[in-house]
Structure 1
Amino acid sequence: MRIGALARAVGTTTRTLRYYEQEGLLTSARTAAGYRDYAPATVRRVRNVRELLALGFTIADVREFRPWLDQELPPTFVAGPGCAAAMRVAEERLALIRQRLDTLTQLHDSLMAPRPSGAGPHGLTGRGRRSGPATSAAVSATAARAGAGSRGGGRGRPSTPARRAVAARGR
């Protein structure tokens, strides 16, 4: 099977397939004319590589799974003979996913936290005043760091004397 036919069969590009080959995930024979010629089983291998990448594994991680790329991937990974390195990679990836989940959960909880009456989605009321314990200086400092202000010339310059003072202290 030539590279174009393989790319169509798995829904990717020929450039991606060449990259996988360069990274040692695929092998191909060459025709007399020098074209890449892939075995039909390569379709499963490429699908498995793409699935592992979509799950969050890196190319380096996927290399550890090379012995199993030509077979159906199991619904869950279990330790077996000869797969200690692959299991280590899977555990490391799982730890990173757990960290991301914790971070996203914290972000979700902070965004969903009850706000004082009249506060908008960012805790602001009316004309950019923050309700609650935050002070207007903190809001000004945040705006100055972000380069906010319609009269600041659009170049990150603070637009009011108070913001200029806060920005000057931050330098």
Structure 2
Amino acid sequence: MVNAQQYIESSFPKHIYRIFAIGKNLEGHLDLSEYPNLVEVRLGNNPLLTSLSLGPSPRPYLTAIGFRGSGITNFSFLANLPNIHMLVLVNHTQEHQAKIVRDINQVHQCKDQEIEKIKQQIIQLQQQIQSLKTCENSNRNQNSPPNLSSERNNDTS
């Protein structure tokens, strides 16, 4: 058995794009927060690998992750994967897979709600901008000097 963190740090440089550590007898927690360029991670067949962390920042480039046959049971790190396209969960129970799907759906629901909230804020800002433009035009018209040419025409008649 190999400490997961030590194995990854000694085998993969921090700037790497892909980590393939399938069947390496990894154990314990693995923190990949110092690997910002990852696009794919494969950690399958490591039953003693108990948890995975990707750090607090979203990982827009990480689109494929696989950990079938691992001991990972907490999938909160999926919240930081907005563009995930491939998720390999084989060998997890159906109940466990259902929980993961619920977690992913909840993340997407929250993101959809945030997007809707931002859209509403944009609409409000656009309305405020339009209102300010209307006020500005109104003030400009009130403060403009009278048209002297029309007054001169009236005086000469």
Give TM-score, length-normalised by structure 2. 0.33
Give TM-score, length-normalised by structure 1. 0.31
Structure of higher CA gyration radius? 2
Q: Which structure is higher in helix share?
A: 1
Per chain length, whose mean CA-contact separation is higher, i.e. which structure has more relative contact order (CA < 8 Å, sep 6+)?
Answer: 2
Q: Which structure is higher in strand share?
A: 2
